[in-house]
Amino acid sequence: MKGRPALILVLIFVVGLALGIAIKTLFFSEPIVETTESDRMDRPTRKQLLEDADVSAEDIELVQGKQGAMTWKLLAKTAKYNQEKGLIGVEYPQLTAFFGEDRQEVYVRADRGDVDQQNDNLTLYDGVSGRFGDLALDAQFLDYVGAIDKVYLKGGVAVRRPDMTIKAKAMEIDLVTRQLVAAGGVEALLAPEGLENNPLQ
């Protein structure tokens, strides 16, 4: 009889813990960051695909469009095209993209990238940096999925603008709604007066 209150307290604790985990999983879980086919390929496989390339070129420009308007263009120092996989491997890519009715310009550069032009997808990786208006970004990987107009950033993501800085492991950007969702170790510094005037700097 003396052990009953302790047993009841333990049961209440276990039930509360289970409910807390269930609620966190249902309502506060991090967004799922989709992976593309190029993500699922490991580096040796990707390297082999590009070594088996059918065509090689230097100083190239790739252009993609929808409904008569250019959506993006990519300049690269070198490119290798694997016709069987429809994959173009590029070195030192510079991407300029245009989104929305107001044709906002996005500029991104990286050390390497893979382009699947037929499906309007591309992955830039290693030293990714870019700008979108007054927004600047850095990451290790950038995946653009044209079918759903979304960008996924992964690996040491940092997004900055004059009044805020956000760091996270991953980030999803909806190019239509311009909504940004960060996940994994998110740190945010908000300074409505601007980061230069922030007394904490």
Contact (CB, 8 A) for 134 and 160: no
Q: What is the CATH number of the domain that holds 105?
A: 2.60.450.10
pLDDT digits (tens, 9 = 90+) for 92-131: 999 998 877 777 788 999 999 999 888 888 999 999 999 9
Q: What's the domain range around 111?
A: 37-197
pLDDT at 32: 44
Task: Name residues whose C-beta falls within 8 Å of residue 100's C-beta, 6 or more positions apart in sequence.
Answer: 175, 176, 178
Asked, for residue 25, whether it belongs to a domain, the answer is no
Q: Which two tokens stand for residue 56?
A: 């090689």
Residues of the chain with pLDDT under 50: 26-40, 43-44, 195, 198-201
Asked, for residue 13, whether it belongs to a domain, the answer is no
Q: Number of folded domains in the chain?
A: 1
Asked, for residue 19, whether it belongs to a domain, the answer is no
pTM, to two decimals:
0.68
Distance CA 181, CA 168 (A): 10
pLDDT at 2: 56
pLDDT at 138: 94
Contact (CB, 8 A) for 58 and 78: yes
pLDDT digits (tens, 9 = 90+) for 43-53: 446 666 667 77
Contact (CB, 8 A) for 40 and 52: no
pLDDT at 31: 47
Q: Is the dihedral of CA 144, 149, 155, 160 positive or negative?
A: positive
Q: Amino acid letter at 120?
A: D
**Which ranges in 115-186 belong to alpha helices (H)?**
none
Burial class (CB in 10 A: 0-12, 13-18, 19+), 168: buried
